[in-house]
């Protein structure tokens, strides 16, 4: 797809109102994949209808699941059972979505079928060796383009072997890939992580009836899946996405006089690092009606404009807010003092090299910052930065939304190139924000 539309945001004054943030992307992907592997009909309420999740839906349908959306917006997935996926007739196009590609590779790795997979220009640059290597240990054949990139071919193992695998990097996608390959593997497959990444795969596999054990040992957090269970269809209630909610949250914090209410935001403790960090910076964010919905903690967020101060964000918090550093960097540009962020190496292999995309964007808006191999330091002076930049997003939705938020409160408008990338995770972002008082056009 050719993408070339730009959007600009202008200083807008206070934002007010209640905002229904779309469904969680990680949970939406998994509901379609696990529904396709379950016996019976899974219903998904509140699914994110962004391009990334729709790429997963299309792929699971090409693998034999029956998927449709009813008139009330509920998605129905009729599964094939573990081991029951059929060989797709054509190449699977995972679009912009690393989660779709890597989790699906795990599923395919233990199905005795051959599948070809590709993605857009951004996804074709991202590393796939991190999943191809453990899948090869389990007996799958994965042939990638040079540099372990997409397009690639997965020939699933006819007799997959369980492994015990220590993750070389903090990645929920790699962890999930191996656990999903373990689903159709006899015996027990174990993944060890030294940093605790998001645990939606573990929680949701249990919800669908699989046995997943987690123990903490001196090696790290060990997650074991018992192979070849029968997954049973289940209803999934998708909470609103805390990663998407971070954009209106920061927009409200930096626009004096703002007050926003964001109902039903997922508050999984391995996803909420941005809210802890913003509060440490002095943000007025209140959690109301804290509750558990379908196994996930959820709360209504009330956000009021606040004076922010720079802080040092601990590196070990990075996995719980890995997608939120671009918008945190924007918040830091409005804060008083230095915000120091460490442990950001993984940002270099997302939809873009987010570390340099953020640093370049901040500089284009007159913000002083220092980019290191795996750190970023942003210097704010407690007032609105100059703005006025034109931002290269590299088709990265989070870079696009972050700098549109910057333009809402900077001194001059900010223009973001290739803003259509926003539809991958947050369709309707500009319309929803404008409904609260933003000026995005
Ligand atoms: O498992 C998931 O749903 C995700 C894991 C993270 O990626 P990594 O596992 O590469 O850190 C995150 O950046 C991505 O947006 C979604
Ligand atoms: C990194 C992201 O997603 P993915 O890896 O699925 O492309 C993201 O949404 O910020």
Kindly list the domain boundaries of the chain, sorted by start residue. Answer: 7-23+239-440, 25-237
Pocket lining: 346 vs ligand 1, CB cutoff 6 Å: yes
CB 160 within 8 A of CB 138: yes
Low-confidence residues in the chain, pLDDT < 70: 1-4
Identical fold between 7-23+239-440 and 25-237: yes
Q: What separation in Å is there between the alpha carbon of 128 and the centre of ligand 1? A: 13
**Bind-site residues for 3-phosphoshikimate:** 25-26, 30, 171, 173, 323, 350
Q: What separation in Å is there between the alpha carbon of 383 and the centre of ligand 1? A: 33
- pLDDT tens figures, 198-229: 999 999 999 999 999 999 999 999 999 999 99
Helices (H), 212-350: 242-254, 273-280, 325-334
Instruction: Tell me the two tokens of residue 298.
Output: 């959820």
* Residue list, ligand 2 pocket, CB within 6 Å: 25, 52, 97-99, 323, 350-351, 398, 425
Burial class (CB in 10 A: 0-12, 13-18, 19+), 314: middle
Pocket lining: 176 vs ligand 1, CB cutoff 6 Å: yes
Beta bridge partners of 266: 298
Pocket lining: 99 vs ligand 1, CB cutoff 6 Å: yes
Burial class (CB in 10 A: 0-12, 13-18, 19+), 176: buried
**How far, in Å, CA of 179 to CA of 160, rounded?**
13
For position 380, what pLDDT does the model report? 98
Q: What separation in Å is there between the alpha carbon of 77 and the centre of ligand 2? A: 23
Ligand nearest to the CA of 131: 1
The closest alpha carbon to 39, from 238, 212, 208, belongs to 208
The DSSP string of 411-440 is SB-EEESSGGGGGGT-TTHHHHHHHTT-EE
- pLDDT tens figures, 279-333: 999 999 999 999 998 789 999 999 999 999 999 999 999 999 999 999 999 999 9
For position 294, what pLDDT does the model report? 78
CB 202 within 8 A of CB 27: no
Instruction: Tell me the two tokens of residue 359.
Output: 């640093």
pTM score > 0.90 for this model?
yes
Instruction: Tell me the two tokens of residue 440.
Output: 């995005």
For position 295, what pLDDT does the model report? 82
- CATH T-level assignment (fold) for domain 25-237: UDP-n-acetylglucosamine1-carboxyvinyl-transferase; Chain (3.65.10)
Cα distances (angstroms) measured from residue 159 to each of 112, 137, 194, 225: 8, 12, 29, 17
For position 2, what pLDDT does the model report? 45
For position 4, what pLDDT does the model report? 59
**How far, in Å, CA of 410 to CA of 361, rounded?**
13
In this structure, whether the domain defined by 7-23+239-440 belongs to CATH 3.65.10.10 is answered with: yes
């Amino acid at each position: 797809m050719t993408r070339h539309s730009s959007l600009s945001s202008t200083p807008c004054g206070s934002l007010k109102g209640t905002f229904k943030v779309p469904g969680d992307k990680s949970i939406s992907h998994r509901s379609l994949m696990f529904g396709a592997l379950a016996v019976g009909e899974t219903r998904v309420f509140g699914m994110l209808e962004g391009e990334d999740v729709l790429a997963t839906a299309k792929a699971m349908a090409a693998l034999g699941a029956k998927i449709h959306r009813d008139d009330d917006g509920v998605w129905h997935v009729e599964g094939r059972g573990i081991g029951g996926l059929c060989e797709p007739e054509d190449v699977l196009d995972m679009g912009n979505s690393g989660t779709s590609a890597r989790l699906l590779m795990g599923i395919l790795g233990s199905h005795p079928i051959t599948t070809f997979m590709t993605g857009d220009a951004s996804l074709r640059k991202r590393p796939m060796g991190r999943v191809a290597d453990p899948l090869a240990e389990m007996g799958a054949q994965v042939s990638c383009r040079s540099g372990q990139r997409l397009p690639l071919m997965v020939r699933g193992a006819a007799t997959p072997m369980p492994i015990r695998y220590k993750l070389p990097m903090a990645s929920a996608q790699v962890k999930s890939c191996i656990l999903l390959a373990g689903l159709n593997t006899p015996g027990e497959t174990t993944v060890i992580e030294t940093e605790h990444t998001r645990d939606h795969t573990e929680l949701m596999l249990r919800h669908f009836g699989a046995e997943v054990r987690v123990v903490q040992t001196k090696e790290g957090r060990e997650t074991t899946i018992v192979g070849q269970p029968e997954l049973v269809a289940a209803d999934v209630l998708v909470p609103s996405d805390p990663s998407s909610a971070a954009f209106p949250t920061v927009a409200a914090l930096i626009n004096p006089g703002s007050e926003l209410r964001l109902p039903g935001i997922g508050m999984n403790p391995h996803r909420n690092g941005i809210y802890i960090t913003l509060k440490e910076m002095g943000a007025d964010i209140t959690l109301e009606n804290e509750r558990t919905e379908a196994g996930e903690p959820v709360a209504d967020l009330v956000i009021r404009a606040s004076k922010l101060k720079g802080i040092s964000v601990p590196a070990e918090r990075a996995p719980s807010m890995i997608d939120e550093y671009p918008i945190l960097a924007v918040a830091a540009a409005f804060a008083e003092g230095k915000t120091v962020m460490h442990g950001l190496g993984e940002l270099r292999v997302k939809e873009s090299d987010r570390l340099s995309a953020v640093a370049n964007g901040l500089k284009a808006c007159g913000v002083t910052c220092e980019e290191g191999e795996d750190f970023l330091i942003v210097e704010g002076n407690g007032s609105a930065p100059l703005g006025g930049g034109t931002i290269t997003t590299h088709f990265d939705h989070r870079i696009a939304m972050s700098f549109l938020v910057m333009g809402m409160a900077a001194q001059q408008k900010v223009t973001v190139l290739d803003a259509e990338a926003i539809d991958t995770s947050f369709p309707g972002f500009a319309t929803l924000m404008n409904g609260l008082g933003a000026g995005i056009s």
